[in-house]
């Protein structure tokens, strides 16, 4: 769900990265990487991070995997400069490059099919009226037998959020696959597990894992949600419950975000 003036107080947007959704999402995403992604990569793997997180995931991967090298794609030169400075301060400037690119420019900037891991969220898809061209451009960066990890918003959970805010029209738009968001917000595609499988099949990507999270925290006006991120013991219990759902394939469709781990089989075009 895209943050907008009338919805800034919702559970997902409240508190930003330090709020309940932000902390849970970061912790669960990293757990999913540890369980389903990193064990399948070579020690000196190469990666591309195309996510709206100012290079934060690229830096975390570089920190945890000192033999890896990567590229973070920022939406503007200014954002790339800021992320580059943060990586230099953290000591990863020699292993993580930060480049600015617009949709359609990735192949010319990075070449085709040479990276062990490509991670993306919905941000590089927002320039396209349909998600297929953006996903095709990202999949072309993956080496044969490499992985693409897609982290995408769920249309069902977004509709649930809008209904919790009393916005029936926005909920209807969400079920149709589009988050209306604020009037000047970028185009936001929403997904279902079945849609992701079909999109990946069309791109000759094999879906190895498909789950979703957070799945237990639902939109509600509750001071409990506001307290959880700041009460470490309570947060740890909520995170434990969410991690138990993470390994249950039947619970993934309930998640606010959907995570697909896919392989580009050797010999794919």
Cβ atoms < 10 Å from Cβ of 228: 20
Burial class of 127 by CB neighbour count within 10 A (0 to 12, 13 to 18, 19+):
middle
Task: DSSP letter for 256, please.
Answer: S
CA angle 220, 225, 231 (to 5 degrees): 170
**pTM: predicted TM-score of the whole model, two decimal places:** 0.89
pLDDT value of residue 221:
45
CA dist 119 to 13, 222, 252, Å? 22, 33, 19
Tokens read off for 75:
């939406």
pLDDT tens digit at each of 269 positions of the chain: 543 333 333 434 444 566 777 888 999 999 999 999 999 999 999 999 999 878 999 999 999 999 999 999 998 999 999 999 999 999 999 999 999 998 888 988 887 779 999 999 999 998 888 999 999 999 999 999 999 999 999 999 899 888 888 899 999 999 999 898 766 666 689 999 999 999 999 999 999 999 999 988 865 545 666 677 678 888 899 899 999 988 887 888 889 999 999 999 987 66
pLDDT value of residue 186:
65
């Amino acid at each position: 769900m895209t943050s907008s003036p009338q919805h800034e107080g919702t559970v997902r947007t409240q508190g930003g990265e330090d709020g309940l959704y932000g902390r849970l999402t970061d912790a669960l995403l990293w757990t999913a990487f540890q369980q389903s992604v990193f064990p399948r990569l070579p020690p000196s793997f190469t990666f591309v991070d195309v996510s709206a997180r100012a290079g934060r995931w690229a830096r975390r991967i570089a920190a945890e995997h000192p033999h890896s090298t990567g590229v973070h794609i920022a939406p503007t030169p200014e954002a790339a400069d800021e992320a580059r400075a943060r990586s230099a301060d953290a000591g990863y400037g020699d292993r993580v490059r930060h480049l600015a690119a617009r949709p359609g420019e990735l192949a010319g900037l990075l070449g085709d099919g040479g990276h062990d891991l490509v991670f993306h969220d919905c941000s590089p898809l927002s320039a396209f009226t349909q998600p297929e061209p953006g996903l095709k451009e990202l999949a072309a960066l993956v080496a044969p037998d490499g992985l693409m990890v897609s982290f995408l918003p769920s249309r069902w959970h977004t509709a649930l959020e809008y209904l919790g805010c009393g916005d029936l029209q926005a909920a209807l738009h969400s079920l149709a696959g589009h988050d209306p968001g604020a009037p000047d917000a970028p185009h936001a595609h929403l997904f279902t597990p079945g849609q992701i499988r079909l999109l990946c099949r069309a791109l000759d990507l094999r879906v190895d894992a498909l789950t979703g999270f957070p799945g237990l925290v639902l939109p509600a006006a509750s001071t409990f949600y506001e307290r959880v991120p700041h009460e470490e013991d309570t947060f740890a219990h909520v995170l434990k419950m969410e991690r138990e759902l993470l390994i249950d394939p039947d619970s993934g469709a309930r998640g606010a975000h959907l995570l697909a781990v896919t392989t580009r089989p050797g010999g794919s075009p």
